[in-house]
Amino acid sequence: MFDRLKLETRLLIALGTMSLLVIAVALSGRMGLSHAKETTQQILLKDAHIAEEALEARSFTLQLRRYEKDYFLNIGAPATQADYLVKWNGSRDALLAHLAALDALVSSPADHETLRGMQDDLATYMAGFDKVAAAVRSGELATPQAANHAITVYKDAIHRLEKTAGALGGASDHRMQERAALLEADTGRTSTQMTMTALLAVAVALLMSFHLTKSVAEKPVEDADRG
C-alpha cells in the first residue's frame, strides 16, 4: 500500500513519523526527568526528617534540664518531687526515641559517629542524675544547692548533647534548602533545553518536508508510455 502512494506523500509520511518520534523522545525525557525529581525530593524529605528529629531531640534535652532543676528545688516536698521525676523520665524516654530515630535516618559515617557521641553524652548525664537523685532520696544531699553542686560534673554532657542536636538539625535544614534550590534550577534548565531541542527538531523536519515535497512536485515527470 505504501508503495502505491505518490513520492511526495511518502516523504511527508516519513518526515512526519520522524517528527513524532522526536516528540516521543522529548516526552520520554521529561518523564525521566520527573522521576529523577521525585527521587531527589525523597532525599530532601529525609533531610527534613533528620532536621525535625534533631530539633525534637534538642527540645527534650532542654526539658530534661528543666525538670532536673525542678526536682532538686523541691527537696523536702516528696509528692512534688515525684511528679517532676515522672516528667523527667518521660522526657528521657522521648529523647532516647528521637536519638534512635536519628540513628536510623542518617547515612554517613560522620553522622553515625555524631549520634554515638550524643547517646554517650545522654548516658553519662542519666547516670549522673540517677546517682544524685539517689543521694537526695537517702538524705545524703538535703538542699537544692548541694544537689545542684553534685550534678554539675555531669552537666557538660547534657549541654554538649543540646548543642550537637541543634547543630545537626541546622546542618540538615541548610543542606535540604541548598539541594532544593539546585534541584529546581537543574530541573528548569534541563526541561527548557529538552523542549527547545524537540521544537527545533520538529521545525527542521517540517522545513525539510516542505522543501522536498515542493522539489518533487516541480520536477518534470517523464511519460512512461512515450515511444
Domain residue ranges in the chain: 12-214
- The predicted pLDDT at position 127 comes to 97
pTM recorded for the entire structure: 0.63
Q: Which of 46, 64, 145 is nearest to 101 (CA)?
A: 46
Would you say 170 and 47 are in contact if contact means Cβ atoms under 8 Å apart? no
pLDDT at 216: 58
Q: What is the pLDDT of residue 225?
A: 44
Residue 122 has a pLDDT of 96
What is the C-alpha to C-alpha distance for residues 14 and 148, in angstroms, rounded to an integer? 87
Per-residue pLDDT for the chain (227 aa), expressed as one digit of tens each? 555 666 666 666 766 776 676 676 666 666 656 655 555 555 556 778 888 899 899 999 999 999 999 999 999 999 999 999 999 999 999 999 999 999 988 888 988 999 999 999 999 999 999 999 999 999 999 999 999 999 999 999 999 999 999 888 876 666 666 666 666 666 666 667 667 766 776 676 677 666 666 665 655 544 444 44
d(CA 184, CA 117): 35
Q: What is the pLDDT of residue 172?
A: 67
Predicted local distance difference test score (pLDDT) of residue 32: 59
pLDDT value at residue 106:
86
Q: Is CATH 1.20.120.1730 the right assignment for the domain spanning 12-214?
A: yes
| pLDDT for the residue 227 | 45
Q: Rounded to an integer, what distance in angstroms lies between the CA atom of residue 212 and that of residue 70?
A: 90
